[in-house]
Structure 1
């Protein structure tokens, strides 16, 4: 799944769309945002969403693990009730950015289980990207922050590979900064270093920062998780070429310290099976 984008030109064009500096103006219709969970869109690009009313935001999971631990911790008896609550929180957050509910596309996979559905997820994203005139797809880096993040990254890269293999145009993949394990602890709202991974920092205006904080507050069930995300910048980079058949971040996985139920060997098996299922070449 290789690509060799003009990184500086791609980032400059993308930044112009986000900041309103594009030559002919834009409402963000050229951008599709593909994230793992309700609230990831706010962490990654929430400060700029108000200017992207024409964009589409795809959520891979419904935010509700089926083991019920999270649901019961927040006072819900069923995962369905918890998923519905998270959906309402998402609608409220996007309304704070003046985005209509039609912006959202939910694929509905169970939270914590995206890695078990890599092939199906990649094919769904291929169809969504083929049906829309999208120049940029914004998504997670492959950094071992959360297994659903890594699965989403895999599926986006695979979808773009499948489009190119069929002779169809594929968007540039732009990554948003989330979290991962660093040399001295967690890295929040920044990327762990990748050779050649040029990054841009877009500083939020005071109004944009306050709006983003309001959006984060709308995800009421997630306040403990979201509390550390207070950066006044949002960082983006053109996705590097990943080997999804190897563990990310040199095997240093943030999610190993979390009760997410995915062992590294399970990821490697799932990625290898999806590679074979989709007929992907190794980088």
Structure 2
């Protein structure tokens, strides 16, 4: 469970229906333009999103990050790193479940119901089954699993979390996606472009919701949702019944994406300003630094 959100920040501009606005930054504009065309259905070829893989930490993250466009991406695959059930049972018991297995099963049912609202088939779901709040302790194995998944699929874009200190599972997922793409390139194989979705992080005036914290050199697009897409997204979020307190503030009518910048995962994200320190997770920043360093060594990744 997350605490009440202290504040919100509005987006940098208002958009008309279907309008795609690219903020300035020339590098990667072709990548984002192609990605936006797939989401908006304006690509020069017929597509159901099969070129896209969505890799997120928890059941419901897909609805937050890209839910407004999932109806047009029925050929894509969604990978969940965790099963959404912390093993400490605090969340499970708060929602009336005796075991983490029962809680995980409930969250999976909520996920399938939410995606059904978008017409997204359950056959497009892949769960890696790591415990909620423990992804950072499994960076190497997670990166290897994602490498295999990306290598076996003809994927042009992988959508995932930014490395911004919103939640340690988010940061671990971002690390694993970047590491997997690095391992593919090191083996002489094609790696997809990494596109980030906006979630939440600590900002200068409180929490930043459904937007990226400012990062020089990062190109961003905002896609405004039609009324039908917005209502469908709100319906999807409502299907995650156990998460309603957490999801209530996610009411933005635009979804934001950017090409992932090059991160130094051996340093704390967001200049050390970590939103998850305000959460009752019991996760210390030093744990991240140790886990990332160990994963760099085990995977033999290039040091930043």
Please tell me whether residue 239 in structure 1 is matched to residue 260 in structure 2: yes
> 1-side partners of 2:83 and 2:153: how far apart?
23
* TM-score with structure 1 setting the length: 0.98
Identify the match of residue 228 of structure 2 among 203, 207, 217. 207
What CA deviation, in whole Å up to 9, does each residue of 1:63-122 have, x standing for no partner? 000000000000000000000000000000000000110010000000000000000000
Match of 1:259 in 2: 280
SS in structure 1 opposite 2:283?
coil
Match of 2:19 in 1: none
> 2-side partners of 1:140 and 1:134: how far apart?
17
RMSD over equivalenced CA pairs, Å? 0.7
> 1-side partners of 2:211 and 2:54: how far apart?
18
- Mapping of 1:127-276 within 5 angstroms? 127-276=148-297
> 1-side partners of 2:184 and 2:247: how far apart?
35
Q: CA deviation at 1:195?
A: 1.2
Match of 1:89 in 2: 110
> 1-side partners of 2:138 and 2:235: how far apart?
33
- Mapping of 1:26-41 within 5 angstroms? 26-41=47-62
SS in structure 1 opposite 2:286?
helix
Unaligned runs of 5+ in 2: 1-25
Q: CA deviation at 1:6?
A: 4.5
> 2-side partners of 1:233 and 1:25: how far apart?
24
Q: Does the 8 Å contact 2:27/2:219 carry over to 1?
A: no
Q: CA deviation at 1:25?
A: 1.9
* TM-score with structure 2 setting the length: 0.91
How many correspondences in the alignment? 279
Unaligned runs of 5+ in 1: none
